[in-house]
């Protein structure tokens, strides 16, 4: 059972992630991007699920910060975003994302995307 951290400003999206994955993995939810890098460093997850569009710091800023840190740069990150244009996906991967899933998605698509990163 892998440990996953999901970061999103939407409680509904976090609950969907939890419902889709909690019978297969340990899922830790964080609403918003405030101090999330320190939480990720402390929790040492196997995969981070990261929303892009959030108030304050967006997911790309968090992702770049994770990639700069020795403690977190190796952790696979799945970006989950409503921004689904090919340029958005390419930009996410350039920022350091290991995978990219576009909202809305099915629970099966989420499980498959996570499994590919484990």
Give 48-60 pLDDT, tens digit per residue: 999 999 999 999 9
Mean pLDDT of 18-25: 97
Give 76-111 pLDDT, tens digit per residue: 999 999 999 999 999 999 999 999 999 999 999 999
Q: How confident is the model at residue 14 (pLDDT cuts 50, 70, 90)?
A: very high
Q: How confident is the model at residue 9 (pLDDT cuts 50, 70, 90)?
A: very high
Reduced to 3 states, what is the DSSP secondary structure of residue 62?
helix
Q: Report the half-sphere exposure of 67 (CA within 13 A, side-chain side).
A: 14
Task: Look up tokens 């998605």; give the residue.
Answer: 105
- Angle of helix 86-95 relative to helix 59-68, nearest 10 degrees? 30
- Taking the C-alpha atoms of residue 5 and residue 39, their distance in angstroms, rounded to an integer, is 9
- Taking the C-alpha atoms of residue 23 and residue 27, their distance in angstroms, rounded to an integer, is 9
């Amino acid at each position: 059972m892998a440990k996953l951290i999901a970061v999103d400003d939407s409680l509904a999206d976090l609950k969907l992630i939890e419902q889709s994955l909690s019978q297969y993995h340990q899922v830790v939810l964080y609403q918003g991007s405030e101090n999330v890098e320190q939480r990720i460093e402390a929790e040492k997850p196997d995969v981070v699920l990261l929303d892009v569009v959030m108030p304050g710091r967006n997911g790309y800023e968090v992702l770049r910060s994770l990639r700069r840190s020795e403690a977190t740069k190796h952790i696979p990150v799945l970006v989950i975003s409503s921004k689904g244009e090919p340029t958005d996906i390419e930009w996410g991967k350039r920022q350091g994302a290991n995978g990219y899933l576009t909202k809305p998605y099915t629970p099966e698509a989420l499980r498959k995307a996570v499994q590919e990163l484990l």
